[in-house]
Structure 1
Amino acid sequence: MSNIFDVTTSVLGNYYIGRLANLNEMPSGQDPIFDAHIRYKVNIKILSQIPGELAPEISQQNNIIKALDHRLRPEYGSESQSSYTSLSKIEKRRELQNDLKGSLVIFKLEYRDGYYNLSNASLKPKNKAFSDEDKFDTIPYFKVTNVDYFVQQLQKGNKISEIRRLIQNTLFDQGMFDNNFIPPFIIIQESEEEIYAFGPLNDIRNDRDGISLVFSKEAHKISINDQDFLYDNYSNTDETASDSKITCYFVSTHASNQIRETLKKNEKKIADDRKKEEPTLIEEIKETENVEVEKGQGEQTEEKILERFKKSAENNGLYYTDVDLYNFHTAMKTGNLVILAGMSGTGKSKIVNCYAEALGLEDRGNFKMIPVRPFWQDDSDLLGYLDVLNNIYRPGDSGLIDFLVDANKEENKDKLYIVCFDEMNLARVEHYFSQFLSVLEETGENQRKIRLYNKDYQNRLYNSHQYNDTLKIGENVLFVGTVNLDESTHHFSDKVLDRANVIHLELRPFKEVARAAKEFDVTDSIGTAVFTKDQYFATRPATMEDPAFQLVDAELDVLWKIHKALKDSNDKLGVGFRIVRQIDHYLQCLPQGNVLSRDTAFDLQILQRILTKVRGGEEQLAALIGRYEKVSGELKGSHLIDIFDEYKELYSFTESRKKVASLAKELVIYGHTL
């Protein structure tokens, strides 16, 4: 592939996305915005891929480039007639800082006088889900007249120029393709309701005749018109064009990785389906025998864990239903964040202790309870900070870092570790837990990393041998939090709810609890047992190593109709791709037996993953939730209940119906949901 960048030209072809550099990213404590006599110079941290030709030079500057203020917005220029030019220098700096604090910058690079500057810049408001640690993939975007025909032409190897008539965004930027980075997929849109990722993309060929995209035979498209995609991407709009057409999207790496993984897994499934050779009878028998042995071992391990969990809970005076215990265990087994919610005094923290005891973690010191402090403002309160004056990294008082360092040691990677954040919402989770929210869903330990301090200080610190600039979060570490829902706590943002199973533990009737307590045998000890990481995750089905979607059509239809109903009521609501994937993951992890049926589990997932996000006023949600009649006690005109009724022959939706009724009562009493 030929070099598409020519530094002799003034403006390079690629678009980039960046943000105002943080103080700790600047060398020698320089200010990210500094006085350059007539103007201000601004340091912008590039968050997207940098071309191979430019990478060495820019990476030496920690991926930071400088820009004069008028390069960010024309109204900052002296020739502008805007109110900005009449401000004092201090006021200009304050306005500039406020603009950049809430915005990302999309721009091109201009090479002039031996250095790079910004060109064609535009500011984009930061999405709710944005974190300073986010990185972005630059994904080509095509607005086309016919998606299926366009895909067919790409698969034939036709060059972009040859099928230009199908492309409506005629400003498509060929400069986004670089030798060092091949986008994992492309984005194609036919209408407002039809946005797809198509891939995997294997290669890009660029010659005199133009660019062609090389896909595998099993390349396919998946819908990404959901809440996750809207939250985790920024479109590039060419402001110089009269019709301002999008030429590419900047998709956050964790959202991009999820889409790429789904494409690759489906690609493998399609390839396997194409295989025409049938296994011999002997091979079939061997394969069946192996599966049965593995399945039996997993079932035995899981049965033992759940028996110990129930017994440990009873030993501590906790008498939850078996469904609650199975639900908690299944959610933990998926490897995502689990949040236990409920009124104070219901034993949320103690039940986590019981689970750790059942797994044999407490006696080994592999369980850590961290009380959250109300004054925590950012991740430095939890993780610690870099003491530049004394050249040392000081881990947070919580002890979390030392706990994770121990879990990451080679000799401990097969041991399970559990971290519990007690009263997790006393401070804002999306602030102090921001880095973890971004990495916990990544697959593979090389993806699950948090940054403790700027890597430039790695070789300067006295204790850098103990604390590297980045810390891997092993898959052997499970995270859980407990929350009280009262006036002293903070509500969860959508960024947290999108990544967590929120389980509301229900109290059993007091008579049942009293009867169970009388029958309890205090001499019946839980005994001792220790489960390794491999034993614990062996309770998941073998398909989880290569999980293709197993949600049936009816379940997908239910989720899609709920998504549409949420979007119709409030454009900020919806069922994201991430949530659908995690619901499928949860259902594949269900324990064997009849305690937690698929019907009940699907109902609980709608409650825990979707209905927890339904918040708003009566005007927005009345049609979605319905009207609660105080006299009759009936719920009428509920779009959600109508969806549940449509599939009542297949699923009960018992808990989801209760939640919708509760939300309707809140609308009547308070005028909004709580």
Structure 2
Amino acid sequence: MRLLNKMNPELEKKIKDSYFVGRLATEEDLSGTFLDRPIKFIGENSDDIQFHIKCLSPIPEEVSKHLTFQNKILTGNTRSRQNLKIFNNKINLDRLFFTERIEKVKELLSDKLIVFKLDPKPEFIYVDIAKIENIKPGTSYSLIPGPSLKIGESIEDLETKLAKKGYPITLKYYPNIFDPPEFIYFEDYLYQVDMNQSMNPTTYSQKDGVDVRFMKIGDDFADMVHARIDGDLYFVELNRLGDLRDKMNDEGKNLTEHYSYTDPVEDHLESRPGQIPEDNLNAFNKNEFEFLSKFLKKAQNQYRLFYNEKDMISFHISVKTNMLTIIGGMSGTGKTQLAKIYGETLGLELGKRMIIVPISPSYKEPNDILGFLNPSTGVYHESETGLVSLLLEAEKYSDRTFMVIFDEMNLSQVEHWFSPFISLLELDEDNRYLT
């Protein structure tokens, strides 16, 4: 299908992470379009087959406004390797006579529920079939996502995040182009939620002030599901959502009241007092707890970044106890932002007592970040990083905190351009001099 206008790369990525369900379009579905048949060959001398799918699950408005047809008709063909693979596995399409192919594809797709993804191109968008469910399609479907937990996490960890509010929950195949989900399902339990979306397309969190209801549903839910993508996404007929709401009202429990938990920040601080004198322990705990609470809230409420509290506390401890703290992780997870938020929580202003130095792959020696002395003029030229100015300011006000964030530090060989600092950090404070 030709697009009305080009999609941006971010939307394209979100579409590629999404699943839909539909059925083979009928001639009645195609009325009002220039499409004449649900299945046909592409051109007179081509072996490639084109087919049209009527989408039965929600198409986000952000996507539909780019589509040529607003009747949820989408197009696929056998030029797609994925579609060709499905058809070869099911009906050995490549081995069929030319005259048999249309009829066999129609027989395969008719009266079946088709699970598919969308493959956006610069000017077109196509259907890639994921699987074909041998079930008579309903009229319309709703999506119920399942949360993706980290290795070692359990249902108790999920319920803690839901009960405490504001904690990140990943919905792998439910990017934020869709409306926030009403229900999520995990290991025989259904949760009725009201969630915030975040900057990360598949990260959500339960809204503050809104309680989660839950119930064990098991086989009743399985009977409602017409298609599923592993444990990450379930397709339920739209008219069954009312049944789920009624059942939740009758049998559901309040998760916050049911699930008791303690504050891991407070527990962590109280369980690790170190060598602090007994008479100062309470004041120390209070100050540490207040700072960490402010740090966590600033990340969540102001920047919509959600991390495990234990990781945030570990980061705080690392900054306090190490000369150098390195934050690793995938691109786009907020590593630089996390360091910046920490500095802001300390009261540091970006550009004054806190700077971000973007590291270039071309950095090869200390002069790249410090600057150089012109031997012919005797004039020192500071690097545009501003690092030297910050160091001179820090030397002047040694009782104050200063922070340098090296962004994308791994893009170049750190042992080259950072070598003076690596050596200095191994020396006692009194012997650290940088020329």
TM-score (norm 2): 0.48
TM-score (norm 1): 0.32
Which has the higher Rg, Structure 1 or Structure 2? Answer: 2
